[in-house]
Amino acid sequence: MQDFIQYIYSAFERIADFSDQQKIILLGLICGLLIAIFLYPLLRILVTLLHEFGHALAAKITFGKVYRIHLNHDSSGLTQTSGGGRSFFVLLMGYPMPLLFGCLFSWFLIINHPEFILISLLIVSLSVLIVVKNWYGFLICLLGILITGALLYFGQIQIFNFMGGALIGFLTLGAFIDLRVIFHKNEELSDADLLHEKFQIIPAFVWKLIFLLMMSSCLFLIIITFKTLFSK
């Protein structure tokens, strides 16, 4: 018990030595994690937005077509792309995409350009707005454009750093919460089930484990990045 108390005391001493930037990012990270724990159902649509953007981006990278994206009131989503062999890559990129953005955001913090985080979300919102085909999805994208645009116009570096930490915390934990759901619920077809339909020799459960491995790798990169950031 005494060793634990000493460890906590040492941690607070270390935090006290952080720069103002590091303290703001850490505060944002903690807030983002708490929001994901207590308010995730209300804000899950952000993770869904990046999930569906991942499908669309993968389709474009593989020279496919994106026909439509739906963002629904229950925070579910749907992306319709052209089929063929490229659909494997398209289906694979949904669940890891929020964590890939978390890796990208962490790097923006390291190079001291946190405003790029909001610019990235602005680009995502604009890109999805072009192909979204329902009113709720249109309003979500429009809201994303207005919020990120306002923060970029009126915000300062401290706000950008705080938002960066909060978004990384929220997206990281939120992505794993979403993945946990497909391990426990089977009411609707998940990306893992769709991959199983295309490659029947590989069970859906194995695809879920592949998603977990990909996302864990991204989490490892985020941790390494934050270790570098807070060791400056």
pTM as predicted: 0.93
Per the structure, the count of domains in the chain is 1
Strand partners, 68: 80
Helix ranges (H only) for 115-188 are: 115-131, 135-154, 157-184
Cβ contacts of 93 within 8 Å, gap of 6 or more: 54, 55, 57, 58
Q: Which of 93, 36, 74 is closest to 187 using CA atoms?
A: 74
pLDDT along the chain (232 residues), means of 10: 58 74 95 96 96 95 91 93 76 96 97 97 97 95 97 95 97 95 77 89 93 97 93 76
Task: Map tokens 């804000």 to a residue.
Answer: 43
Burial of 66 from C-beta contacts in 10 A (0-12 / 13-18 / 19+): buried
The verdict on residue 168 lying in a domain is: yes
The verdict on residue 15 lying in a domain is: no
Domain that holds residue 30: 22-229
The verdict on residue 171 lying in a domain is: yes
The verdict on residue 103 lying in a domain is: yes
